[in-house]
Amino acid sequence: MKDAPTSVNDVRVAVICALVHEGDAVEKFFNQKWKPQDLPFLQGKTSARNLILGRIEHHFVVLAWLHRKGKGGATSTATILDDIFPDIKLVLVVGVCGGMPPHPKQKAEIQFGDVIISEGIIPYDEGKWEEKGYLNDKELLHQHWKIGGLIKRLSSKNGCKELRESALRHLQAKPPDAQDRASESEQTRKPNVHFGYVASGDTVIKWEEFRNEIVNRGRYKPIAFEMEAAGAETVFSNLVVVIKGVCDYADKEKNKAWQPYAASAGAAYMRAFLDEWQPSSVQTAVQDIAGGGIAKAGEGIAKATGGIMKGSKS
């Protein structure tokens, strides 16, 4: 394992955060970290000055805070990341979000502190309205087809159980309603994970009627609401996954009391998610073929399959 990245191509994972405490929660999981000015290959890149590079186990990760919330801020930050680091294969939008409150049709009740992992991203403030107020959102949904297999596996019953167990080993924070207790219940201090669609747009939602209208307007029913993922998706198509802790229900009761804990829970699940994710040399080679780089793709496939065969020898 390299002690430090030696080129921009070593960085395969980007993490985007909107709030300071979101980024602080992520940064706690860095085994090592470097400022851009400390890395020779980033010397002179002024656009990198507000980034932090780190290692989370065997992944080199770049952490970026947004200069402003919303899709515009996320798009500009993602553009900077894409310009500096050409080999990013996974973009995680980590932090806090609003969730759907408990109701009879939910598969599992979403509680404050639980974590949402996106199966797809819906930019709810775009699209085409049709008869009777119906939003044709078929082409708006951004699904994670490049890493869909991993999302499906982790969202299975056993996958959720293993992911949760891994995340809880990393989570040290306590929820706000447990701060003054001698001991809190097992259920209170163990956030669950929910997989589903995430609605993303430029509006801070504090009105349950507007929240419900977003859920009911189209084919895809989001279970959470946030403001950055759709912007990042415009740059890193099908590479963006939301991992966020629920801190409110996007209604008039919205406040910041649960934000620090929800951010910590989201970061803990991010850490567990990265334990399961690996950039695929074969996948990269296939993408090179699609882009016309057949010779480069052949080299990538040979290297990947050679490594597999070599690893299978006893």
Predicted confidence at residue 270, as pLDDT, reads 98
In a shared domain, residues 198 and 307: no
Residues 6+ apart with CB under 8 A from 107: none
Q: Tell me: pLDDT of 27 over 90.
A: yes
Residue 263 domain-assigned (yes or no)? yes
Distance, in Å, from the CA atom of 268 to the CA atom of 253, rounded to the nearest integer, reads 26
The rounded percent of the chain whose pLDDT value lies above 70 is 79
Segment 160-187, tens digit of pLDDT: 999 999 999 999 998 987 554 434 454 4
* Cα torsion angle, 306, 59, 11, 292, sign: positive
Nearest to 99 by CA among 86, 90, 112: 112
Judge whether 242 and 116 are in contact, CB under 8 Å: yes
Instruction: Looking at the structure, tell me whether residues 240 and 301 fall in a common domain.
Output: no
In sequence order, what are the residues at sequence separation of 6 or more whose Cβ sits closer than 8 angstroms to the Cβ of residue 15? 26, 61, 62, 63, 64, 91, 92, 93, 94, 270
pLDDT tens per residue, range 122-161: 998 876 666 655 555 555 677 777 888 999 999 999 999 9
* pLDDT bracket for residue 261 (50, 70, 90): very high
Q: At residue 62, does pLDDT exceed 90?
A: yes
The reported pLDDT for the residue numbered 234 is: 94
272 & 293 share domain: no
- Is the same domain home to 103 and 250? yes
Supply φ then ψ for residue 17, to 5 degrees.
-130, 145
Q: Are residues 216 and 295 both part of a single domain?
A: no
Same domain, 138 and 287: no
Please give the DSSP secondary-structure letter assigned to residue 51. Answer: -
Residue 252 within any structural domain of the chain: yes
Looking at the DSSP bridge assignments, the partners of residue 256 are none
Predicted pLDDT of residue 139:
53
The pTM assigned to this predicted structure is 0.84
How far apart CA 150 and CA 152 sit, in angstroms, is 5
User: What is the DSSP secondary-structure string of 122-182?
Assistant: EETT-SEE-GGG-EE-TTT-EE-TTSHHHHHHHHSHHHHHHHHHHHHHH-----GGGTT-S
Give yes or no for a contact between 14 and 91, defined as CB atoms under 8 angstroms apart: yes
Task: Tell me what the mean pLDDT of segment 229-241 comes to.
Answer: 95
Could you tell me if residue 2 is inside a domain?
Answer: no
Q: Give the mean pLDDT of the chain.
A: 84
We report the CATH number of the domain holding residue 41 as: 3.40.50.1580
Do 203 and 180 fall into the same domain? yes
Structure tokens at 209: 């009627």
Given a cut of 70, whether residue 31 has pLDDT beyond it is yes
CA dihedral 204, 209, 212, 216 (to 10 degrees): -120
Same-domain pairing of 129 and 222: yes
> Which of 29-38, 135-144, 288-297 is predicted least confidently?
288-297
24 & 159 share domain: yes
- For residues 48 and 103, state if they share a domain: yes
Pair (248, 308) in one structural domain: no
247 has pLDDT over 60: yes
Angle at which helix 20-27 crosses helix 259-276, to 10 degrees, equals 40
What is the pLDDT at residue 124? 86
Could you tell me the pLDDT band of residue 107, with boundaries at 50, 70 and 90?
confident
Let me know: does 281 contact 300? Beta carbons within 8 Å: yes
Band of the pLDDT at 307, cuts 50, 70, 90?
Answer: very low
Q: Which residues form the domain of 308?
A: 281-314
* Judgement on whether residues 297 and 158 belong to the same structural domain of the protein: no
Residue 15, pLDDT score:
98
* Closest to 62 measured CA to CA, from 41, 72, 71, 70: 41
Residue 196: beta bridge partners? 118
Per-residue model confidence (pLDDT) at position 192: 96
Specify if 3 maps to a domain.
Answer: no
121, part of any domain: yes
Total domains, the chain: 2
